[in-house]
Structure 1
């Protein structure tokens, strides 16, 4: 059932809540079990909370196994909209699963601490330092990560609280970022592209789900080495602060030139609609490139990066004013891909040097995680890593 289904019953400017629409949004359920974790390709969600943990001193492989088993049970139960225990809190009483997804990943540092260095994929090699990075180490990296997405904040908080309680037996919280996006039912249609705090549509160029190209871009193949990553993915996280006060000094035409798209419709400046392929060779009547040379859409394109492509999922954050009075706001940027070295890294190396947008953003935190493959009923996330695959 699609997020926002039933929203058409609301007339323009009607502030009333449509009960049918609310019920549909609350009832939306994603299937937990499967080849891939569902949070990777989930429909756009209103809330996205990413949390990283570090192993406590002396924590053992057996404790990590028990934790992943608990997290699997929590994810499967909460995503189905069921109570975790008979006596748990009533935080989500009367609510459905609300499109909840729980996505679990591991960092290279976890495998090192568990003595599993031989199981570290080449794809988990540390990201290079990029030009103009301003990363805060304490807000970056981590041994484990959990991404919780949902269309209801209480549903997301309920699941995250359960995950954090389970983790307390062998982990400490390293950092957490809380993000938001367009509310379910508030966009023109359920399939509409979300907007970010710069007012731009965000995610137009993502690979199309249900295609072989999508699977090749996002998921580790069936022949992946090590075998425990087959069906998994790699997540690059970046906390990108937007210099909104500087951005606001540009008029609409100036902002569109930086991005390379019409601000309202998302259409490339070369013409068409949001999903028209940009024409990077087109010139205006005055002889200028229709899409400027430094425009973000041009510099981030597969054509400019030897075919490099990622699945982009992003949430906004707005944490109030900084000490200098500027807004502490921007993007929780999430990029899923089969190989970061041939995906995010290629693109970001180019963007950091020549993208006009780089003047208006700062990368302040970063993380790279192996997103575990999905699992079947009776199994748990990470079993192939911690126990090996009997079929191998």
Structure 2
């Protein structure tokens, strides 16, 4: 969708046990919740047995063949495929923000049950955090584990938690609600279903294995117990790691390369644009003590954007490229070069017409055309079947991260609302804004500084 999109070189295709650590061709530096390939996976091993358990997949996703059965239970062979990759639960930031994109995702929002308040919310976040920590390490969820992912490793599982605007009133914490969490303005392109928007609590789940992701989704829903009920839930996917012959930026369901100009953790101003700063001193724009609980956190804007694929696919490729402002084949700007070549917004053709149309999506979303507005977009595609006329219900589960949505998402979306060529081919059908606090330290649960502060 937007040119400022999923992390460049943080696509599933680009991640292998080597590139996950920032080696040449990899995603670059990660935060303290970075992905690590472990030599041994606690309580879960992939045991290749000749003619019995099936193929062991290599790091690039290819079949490595059958392994001989171990001579004894103690000789179990650790996972060597993408299933072995682990993301740490504890850290400065929550996982699932700068973590490389995963191939499977679930989004789920909850409302606190009638009568549930701060005490119940704290107990729920404590349960959720413990379950997330266990599952992200490749361990069972607890005594009620469903065994869905019994044979798998962590598979880069991440579980991320956030609070909606309504959460603070329900828990008696209205004074702790940050101004950045004020409801998003209305946009002319909105066709929002209120039943699939917002929520008291939000959970993002990502993994490189579908069963691992579902296992986490089910565990989170079970842990909610009587404290909260599901408000809405959405499922998404991306290209699997190793699905292409070489690392490359992912494509969305319109077939467009989607992820070229995302901010990167290596950028000098990345943290200030994406994460809420820690409190220092006694004065300053971000020095409100009541908001100290958001230090090192971020704000997630979540939008279910339906792509009108039947209309889009009727366009010839040249027209599609003019809508976006980039070549469909390789994502390069229409003004020439490669995917990462700077777009020449002033370049014209022989007739004097702009090569990149004035309403091209890539032109409108550029940070330098929006006062420097920046956000890390980390979406999942979705497909929820077909309607009675055979029209696909498919598109993008748009998720973007920023230190302040009023300086990130809102100005860009307002500009898109005024004349984006892509707008006639998409429809915003659900929306949410969530405050995602910083990561939990060892012995803490997510949100503890808010709920017990």
What residue in structure 1 maps to residue 142 of structure 2?
85
Choose 1 or 2 for highest CA Rg. Answer: 2
2:306 to 216, 226, 241: 241
Instruction: Please say if residues 236 and 367 of structure 1, whose CA atoms lie closer than 8 Å, have aligned partners that are also in contact.
Output: yes
Instruction: Tell me whether 1:116 sits opposite 2:162 in the alignment.
Output: no
Distance in 1 of aligned mates of 2:299 and 2:62: 41
TM-score with structure 2 length normalisation? 0.81
Q: What is the correspondence of 1:206-355 to structure 2 with a 5 Å cutoff?
A: 206-223=262-279, 224=286, 225=288, 226-355=291-420
Runs of 5+ unmatched residues, structure 2: 1-11, 20-59, 67-78, 280-285
What residue in structure 2 maps to residue 44 of structure 1?
101
Q: How many residue pairs align between the two structures?
A: 381
Q: Secondary structure at the match of 1:341?
A: coil
Distance in 2 of aligned mates of 1:292 and 1:378: 54
Q: Which moved more, 1:117-126 or 1:322-331?
A: 322-331
Query: 1:299–1:145: structure 2 CA closer, same or farther, 3 Å change rule?
Result: same
What residue in structure 1 maps to residue 54 of structure 2?
none
Q: What is the correspondence of 1:193-208 to structure 2 with a 5 Å cutoff?
A: 193-208=249-264
Runs of 4+, deviation exceeding 6 Å = none
Runs of 5+ unmatched residues, structure 1: 8-13
Displacement of 1:91 in angstroms is 1.1
What residue in structure 2 maps to residue 162 of structure 1?
219
Q: Please give the per-residue CA displacement for 1:107-146, whole angstroms capped at 9, x wherever unaligned.
A: 1100011111100101000000001210000010000000
Quote the RMSD (CA, aligned, Å): 2.0
Displacement of 1:240 in angstroms is 0.3
Query: 1:251–1:18: structure 2 CA closer, same or farther, 3 Å change rule?
Result: farther
What residue in structure 1 maps to residue 15 of structure 2?
3
Displacement of 1:89 in angstroms is 2.5
Q: Secondary structure at the match of 1:186?
A: coil
Instruction: Tell me whether 1:386 sits opposite 2:433 in the alignment.
Output: no
TM-score with structure 1 length normalisation? 0.93
Displacement of 1:87 in angstroms is 6.3
Displacement of 1:6 in angstroms is 8.3
Q: Secondary structure at the match of 1:189?
A: coil
Displacement of 1:3 in angstroms is 2.9
